[in-house]
């Protein structure tokens, strides 16, 4: 049952990513969508008892975080390193 709620949250985040009026809205909803995907993969890992799914979830969350930092740095104008 909970996977349906996560799927609904994912659909709402995907809609905001596509329809967002500003770039900031799209970035925030993209991060939320990545979080929902990580939660769905983690739920699958718990159900199957496989550690492989957790490795995938960690990689996705690290890539999402790194991408968010890169965009924030680019948009923030802090280019002095």
pLDDT single digits (tens) 38-65: 999 999 999 999 999 999 999 999 999 9
Between 42 and 81, name the one with better pLDDT: 42
Structure-block tokens of residue 7? 């799927």
Assigned domain for 81 exists: no
Q: At what angle do helices 23-48 and 2-19 cross, to 10 degrees?
A: 160
Q: If you search the block for the tokens 């999402």, which residue do you land on?
A: 64
* pLDDT score for 24: 83
Assigned domain for 14 exists: yes
Our count of domains for the chain comes to 1
The residue range of the domain holding 40 is 2-76
* pLDDT score for 38: 96
How many beta carbons lie within 10 A of that of residue 13, not counting itself? Answer: 20
Which spans in the chain are helix H? Answer: 2-19, 23-48, 52-76
Between 28 and 80, name the one with better pLDDT: 28
């Amino acid at each position: 049952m909970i996977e349906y709620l996560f799927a609904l949250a994912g659909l709402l985040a995907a809609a905001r990513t596509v329809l967002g009026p500003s770039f900031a809205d799209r970035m925030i909803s993209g991060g939320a969508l990545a979080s929902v995907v990580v939660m769905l993969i983690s739920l699958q890992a718990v159900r199957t008892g496989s550690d492989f799914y957790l490795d995938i979830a960690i990689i996705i969350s690290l890539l999402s975080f790194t991408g968010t930092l890169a965009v924030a740095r680019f948009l923030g104008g802090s280019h002095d390193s």
